[in-house]
Amino acid sequence: MAANARTASKKRTSPKPKAAPAVAEDFEPVRLTSKPADRAERIVLFYVDDTEYSIPKQVGRNHGLRYLRTMRKQGEALAAQEL
């Protein structure tokens, strides 16, 4: 019996790295901040010792839907706490 002669398979080499892309002159990096965004337009609700308490002029739909879901599952008293 003749032995099967196996040859080593060719190894693939990784492609040579490409040159780094040139940065455009008008490129502006992203700026992130931990400061809160400007507050939405608000309406003064009442004052306590000259401290102003206000509410947003426009309330998002998600607040109403969250209230309705909580009211259905846990009752009106607990849902009112989320407002």
Residues in the chain predicted with pLDDT less than 50, given as ranges, are: none
Query: 78 and 68 in contact (C-beta within 8 Å)?
Result: no
The whole-angstrom separation of Cα 31 and Cα 29 is 6
The whole-angstrom separation of Cα 71 and Cα 3 is 80
Ordered by start, the domain boundaries in the chain are 59-83
pLDDT at 4: 63
Give DSSP secondary structure letters for 7-41: -PPPPPPPPPPPPPPPPPTT-------SSPPPPPP
pLDDT at 74: 92
